[in-house]
Structure 1
Amino acid sequence: MGFNYRIIIHLMGLLLLFNGSFMLIAALVSGIYADGVTFEITLSAILTQLLGIFAMFYTRGHKKEVKRREGYVIVAMGWIVMSASGVLPYLLSGAIPDFTNAFFETISGYTTTGASILNDIEALPKGILFWRSLTHWIGGMGIIVLAIAILPLLGIGGMQLFSAEAPGPSADKLHPRITDTAKRLWLIYVGYTAAETLLLSIAGMSFFDAINHSMATLSTGGFSTKNSSLAYWNNQPLIQYIVIFFMFLAGSNFVLSYFAFKGKVQRILQDEEFKFYAGFIFLFAVLTSLVIYFNANVEVSDFHPMPFGAGESAFRHGLFQVIAVITTTGFVTADFTAWTSFLTVFFFGLMFMGGSAGSTAGGIKVMRHILIIKNGLLEFKRTLHPSAIIPVRFNNKTVSEHIVYNVIAFFVLYMLLFIIGALVLSAMGLDFVTAIGGAASSLGNVGPAFGDLNPVSNFSTLPALGKWWCGFLMLAGRLELFTVLILFNPYFWKRI
């Protein structure tokens, strides 16, 4: 049987309608602030929606059945179509007149990477800044639904790993129907965004800055409305602690948040991935803070004010950057690549960690690391007892060999794509540190990188081809590798 192309086009049309509706919200914000680009953003919305209506009308007689192969195409094409249409507000307003740069900024938004080519963010109209943050928020919301509801049906993704235990949408967890699962998770996502907006406003941020940073936090995106990111509020620790808290929530499994609201706190405390996720953050934050505080080469007072003393400042900035990198949010309060060589290498390693499965965070994910480590340790026992059957256990349940193989395959592919990614960037003339930093950051959806792409710089210096390549790495990393890479397999396209 061939592909059901009509259902694919129909769903792309639906996404375009969805995207255009969000553009209208950005146009409304633009009108409220009278920033001069309301017409351009509105025109972008109308064009996007007209294209969506045409696609849906043209394929109105489609068969509603979506098989696995169509599912892969829909997931990958969805992000590309959203990014391709999302460039219109940038192009028509003149905020980013170059298509390559506009597409890079847009796909960086939808994949919640947060890498930017903009040199003066604060000069942009309010409506464009809001649209930029919205691309994050839309992408983060889509990732939750993908991870929890859609990817398991395709037999892939982080949530498929939980086929035996809590963080998956089976009847005893959230709700047996995917649509109801998605609604519950969206409600939590919107609720967290509103809560952070309120708290940041109370703490001293303007409402506009608060809602933009809330959208960037909950999506683990990292786009800021300020050129210096969260370092702009270095003299307001409360703001940074609020962002730290919500980054932590965004990097944890959203299903656990649902359990918390249902009063099932015990389920959270018993979750193995959550315990490792929280434990890693605590240990790494303490280590980073101690290095900052005691290292003679790091003058804490040089790069941020200290209203509560050097100890608090070292702890806050260490904790902030550890969570920002592990959750792949990418906010910065200082240039962590200048915090000694040890911490530079340390943060590079954290880029490969990722948050929890079922979160908006990118990266490899904590749970995959746990299973790989557990399986590696069990190999010692299997070597001593070759006849024994010693399975990997997670949350006190046996993990099937198929899932273990899937995790190992993912890890190998991830590292291979990272190496290829760095090689391609180095072939474009980037130095070693910049090439490996750019590849790791793009593939892990982190945002800030190293070398010429460090936290106080941006990706504007990349050659045009390098921006397209990093955009591909962002998409592959965001969609769990297999979803994108399977499209390059000739067998996938054969008629069966």
Structure 2
Amino acid sequence: MNYRMVGFILGRILLVESALMLLPLVVTLAYGESAVFAFCLPIVLSALCGAALGIRTPKNTAIYAKEGLVIVALSWLVMSLFGALPFYLCGSFSSYVDCFFETVSGFTTTGASILTEVESLEHGILFWRSFTHWVGGMGVLVFVMAILPLAGGRSVHLLRAEVPGPSVGKLVSRLGNTAKILYGIYIVLTLIEVLLLLAGGMSLFDSLIHSFGSAGTGGFSNRNLSVGAYDNAYFDVVIGTFMLLFGVNFNLYYFLLLRRFQEVFRSEELKVYLGIVFASVMMIAVNLLRFYDTFLQCLRYAFFQVSSIITTTGYATADFEQWPSFSKTILVILMFIGASAGSTGGGIKVARIVILCKSSYRDLQRMLHPHAVTTVRFEGKPLDEKTLRGTYVFFSIYMGIFALSILLLSLEHFDLITTFTAVTACINNIGPGLSLVGPMGNYSGFSDLGKLLLSFDMLVGRLEIFPVLMLLAPSVWKKPRRFSPSKKPCPYEIEEDA
């Protein structure tokens, strides 16, 4: 383990977070609010800690897979610990655990909240709360790589560990340029949404808040009733459409810029993603006919909630807790499916669902025709066994953590629907569930241990399990054994790399 390089990158992360906190501080000063100290102290603390760790570049800057996984997990944890300080110092939260839960929910773009009332919060606090969505949406390390050099060619391990999906590669030869391209697309789409919301009559502050939430597919709003507080069909269409756009693999937007339209139209994941959205909207709209006056209204609310849930954003325009069981069941299924790989959305990802279905079909075919040579193809290319095995391992561990989290959270003595959907919403980075954690509910009723468990689930879901598990593995932190030249190692022992 290259501890010096781990500390160096964590220092850079803290320096960047310190700079990011300047934006909500400016908002606080612009509105003449009292939370100036709540931002100044964390800015100074994170800057000092960051300078102590990240000013001097280590001699050995090598980063391998192990270091990449550990750095990503530690970065998100450290960002959340320091990012919770403004919430704690502003006095609007009852405990630091609540602040940590809210911050983890923000950076992981989950949108689960312990707040029962948000409209009374100061503008600077609300801005920081939603801005964490925007930073966490594309990824903390991707953001840092876009503005600061980190570790040369080996930093691809950071990108692979942080970007969601079965696999990740470089769009261009230099990884820093890849990060800049991704964030350039991200910024442009965010600005377009802000302008469209402004054109519809939404205030600049509200436009920024909801654009941050849509871009990061997070779901924090500055209104108690979320987007439903506006009761505006135009806003529903704009925000719903952009949620879907941010749920698309960002590589496809890069292909559009290069005018490689055939690659976009041939994307198997995009077709499945849009097909699921269309089928879900139509089924829910038909199921809601007795709830609303016209079919157009049914389409409006169905479209927005399907967009919000499949992209794991969590905004709401209606209390879908009151919808029929059929519609709620569809939404719960969409919670697990999630958005596309390489997007800002959470969930298992459409790509993995397609791969799992195809590989299951192949195994059934092998049972009927044992000697047949069959391959699993995705996006027009055959998948190797390593990719398939990785998908199986991810799904197995995912279900294991999911089941264990439900079992542990059931000790809180809430009803089964609340417990089940709370874990589902957190591990898939969605936010609202059903029953007590529904779109008009919150997570304030859980104990501190329950909130920490759900915070762990949010981190596991956003980082897709392996970085967090690597961080918890004792073998990662052990020093490698070195054998004396005069002593011949036992043939059953394997010498570890330095």
Q: Flag whether TM exceeds 0.5 (same fold).
A: yes
Deviation at 1:94, TM superposition (A): 1.4
For the residues of structure 2 that align with 1:100 and 1:120, how far apart are their CA atoms?
18
Match of 1:384 among 361, 368, 371: 368
**2:359 maps to what in 1?**
375
Seen in structure 2, the aligned counterparts of structure 1 residues 23 and 447 have a Cα distance that, compared at 3 Å, is same
Report SS of the residue matched to 2:336: coil
The code of the aligned residue for 2:104 comes to I
Matched, 1:483 2:467: yes
Deviation at 1:62, TM superposition (A): 4.9
Match of 2:73 among 51, 76, 97: 76
Matched, 1:284 2:280: yes
Matched, 1:65 2:62: yes
Matched, 1:342 2:346: no
Deviation at 1:280, TM superposition (A): 0.6
**1:48 maps to what in 2?**
46
| Mapped contact 1:144–1:360 kept (Cα < 8 A) | no
Q: TM-score, normalised by structure 2?
A: 0.91
The code of the aligned residue for 1:134 comes to F
Matched, 1:433 2:417: yes
Deviation at 1:310, TM superposition (A): 2.1
**2:256 maps to what in 1?**
260
| Mapped contact 2:8–2:58 kept (Cα < 8 A) | no
| Mapped contact 2:321–2:439 kept (Cα < 8 A) | yes
Seen in structure 2, the aligned counterparts of structure 1 residues 160 and 319 have a Cα distance that, compared at 3 Å, is closer
Report SS of the residue matched to 1:426: helix
Match of 1:458 among 418, 436, 442: 442
Report SS of the residue matched to 2:18: helix
For the residues of structure 1 that align with 2:108 and 2:7, how far apart are their CA atoms?
21
**2:23 maps to what in 1?**
25
For the residues of structure 2 that align with 1:35 and 1:62, how far apart are their CA atoms?
45
Match of 1:134 among 131, 134, 154: 131
| Mapped contact 1:151–1:157 kept (Cα < 8 A) | no
Where do 1:401-420 residues align within 5 Å? 401-420=385-404
Q: What residue ranges of structure 2 are gaps of 5+ in the alignment?
A: 147-153, 481-495
CA deviations 1:213-236 (Å, max 9, x no partner) are 1011010000001000010122x1
The code of the aligned residue for 1:117 comes to I
For the residues of structure 1 that align with 2:432 and 2:87, how far apart are their CA atoms?
22
| Mapped contact 1:230–1:333 kept (Cα < 8 A) | yes
Match of 2:238 among 233, 242, 252: 242
Percent of aligned pairs with the same amino acid? 38
Report SS of the residue matched to 2:21: helix
The code of the aligned residue for 1:441 comes to A
Q: What residue ranges of structure 1 are gaps of 5+ in the alignment?
A: 163-167, 301-308
Report SS of the residue matched to 1:413: helix
Deviation at 1:44, TM superposition (A): 2.2
| Mapped contact 1:221–1:329 kept (Cα < 8 A) | yes
Report SS of the residue matched to 1:460: coil
The code of the aligned residue for 1:216 comes to G
RMSD between superposed Cα atoms in Å: 2.0
For the residues of structure 2 that align with 1:5 and 1:425, how far apart are their CA atoms?
35
Seen in structure 2, the aligned counterparts of structure 1 residues 420 and 30 have a Cα distance that, compared at 3 Å, is same
Seen in structure 2, the aligned counterparts of structure 1 residues 42 and 367 have a Cα distance that, compared at 3 Å, is same
**2:488 maps to what in 1?**
none
Deviation at 1:47, TM superposition (A): 2.1
**2:4 maps to what in 1?**
6
| Mapped contact 1:143–1:360 kept (Cα < 8 A) | no
Match of 1:269 among 247, 265, 269: 265
| Mapped contact 1:144–1:359 kept (Cα < 8 A) | no
For the residues of structure 1 that align with 2:162 and 2:85, how far apart are their CA atoms?
31
| Mapped contact 1:353–1:365 kept (Cα < 8 A) | yes
For the residues of structure 1 that align with 2:2 and 2:266, how far apart are their CA atoms?
43
CA deviations 1:270-296 (Å, max 9, x no partner) are 010011001110111111111011xx4
CA deviations 1:340-360 (Å, max 9, x no partner) are 122222211111001000001
| Mapped contact 1:152–1:159 kept (Cα < 8 A) | no
For the residues of structure 1 that align with 2:157 and 2:476, how far apart are their CA atoms?
19
Deviation at 1:423, TM superposition (A): 0.7
For the residues of structure 1 that align with 2:268 and 2:163, how far apart are their CA atoms?
15
The code of the aligned residue for 1:345 comes to T
The code of the aligned residue for 2:426 comes to S
| Mapped contact 2:72–2:161 kept (Cα < 8 A) | no
For the residues of structure 2 that align with 1:51 and 1:205, how far apart are their CA atoms?
39
